[in-house]
Amino acid sequence: MFFRTENFYVLDHSSPFWVREPAIYKVIGNISVVSLFPSMIYATWATVQRLLDYLRIKSLRPRIKGIGIATVHFGVIFILFGAVISSNFTQSIEGGSIPLASKGEIVSLGQSGYGAKIINFSTRSLGEAAPAAGIRISEIYGNPENYINNNVKVTGKIVDFVNVQTPPSYTTYMKIDDGTGSLWVATQANEPLNIQNGLELTAEGFMMTNFRSNSTGTTYDLIIFTTPDAITEAATSGNYNVQSVQLEIYKGNSRIGSGTAEYLDSKTGSGTFPLVDSSITGTDVYVIFQGLSSGSVPLTLKIIPGVNFAWLGIILFAIGIILIMAVRSK
């Protein structure tokens, strides 16, 4: 029953540890995964026959004990089946990147046949921000004559923004809110700035009044003009900044998973909360988001089949043990 397949072995032959394994491990490792299925089929058939024998027992306690033993064996079979399937047939697509500009569109992940759609993207801070590094916006509006035609520094969240192409550069207008009021900030760069609503920024620049923008068709009663170098991410009190991306995953045109993946970042480290979507078919969709990069969402996608079989096996194993112990306790 040791059928050969080209790639699927019990142990990974491409692993650098393979060459250092003892001889007995290499013998086991050369067994094809396919060879495990006949033995599982035989074990299942034998367990079913044994269960039928237990059901014919007239005495209640031996019958319950027998059912428990059979259930334990079914659990082991399902656990092994799920483990073999999920460990050997998992598909991994790395290096996928979805531009934020393609939000709402299905973007193919290489030649894998899988695609992803960005439903929403947002950022937030875990915990309260540190004290503002600039002037309160309410104070500026309360005494504008003290700040017009002077350098002003403000800190707050981006609640609105627009990028306008003004050849040969781009002008970005950002509306910053510090909780006491909101104020527009404008800057120019050779390419659109990579910003999102909810981002906490500090901006410092020259304040003007009643500025008319021909590109946006808006007159700003107060506006700060600054440079990209004078715009920095606001410091927080040692907490994490969180980037969240809501995704749908597709195989062809069929949706196979959805959910939210998150990336956490701070001065002390970073981490991820992957998207995990389990289906009734036993296949898990697993997506890792590694943080926004150059206006794109980098993703690692894993399709893991057979996971539900392993969980079903664990449940059956537990039920079987309970039945056996319940009879013994009497």
Chain CA centroid to CA 200, Å: 22
What is the per-residue DSSP string for 295-330? Answer: TEEEEEEEEETTHHHHHHHHHHHHHHHHHHHHHHH-
What is the pLDDT, as a whole number, of residue 26?
47
pLDDT in tens, 48-97: 999 999 999 888 888 999 999 999 999 999 988 888 777 777 888 888 88
Taking 90 as the threshold, does the pLDDT of residue 133 lie above it?
no
Quote the CA–CA distance of 147 and 253 in Å, as a whole number: 56
Average pLDDT of every residue of the chain: 81
Taking 70 as the threshold, does the pLDDT of residue 130 lie above it?
no
Quickly state the pLDDT bin for 102 (edges 50, 70, 90): confident
> Which amino acid belongs to residue 75?
G
What is the pLDDT, as a whole number, of residue 127?
58
Higher pLDDT, 173 or 267: 173
The percentage of residues in the chain with a pLDDT greater than 70, rounded to a whole number, is 82
Question: In a 3-state reduction of DSSP, which class is residue 64?
Answer: helix
Taking 70 as the threshold, does the pLDDT of residue 295 lie above it?
yes
Q: Supply the DSSP symbol for 60.
A: H
Quote the CA–CA distance of 232 and 219 in Å, as a whole number: 26
What is the pLDDT, as a whole number, of residue 4?
47
Q: Rounded mean pLDDT of 191-199? A: 81
Q: Which of 17-26, 52-61, 282-291 has the lowest mean pLDDT?
A: 17-26
What is the pLDDT, as a whole number, of residue 21?
54
pTM of the predicted structure, to 2 decimals: 0.50
Q: Closest Cα to residue 261, out of 308, 307, 233, 301? A: 301
pLDDT in tens, 253-283: 888 889 999 988 876 677 888 988 877 667 8
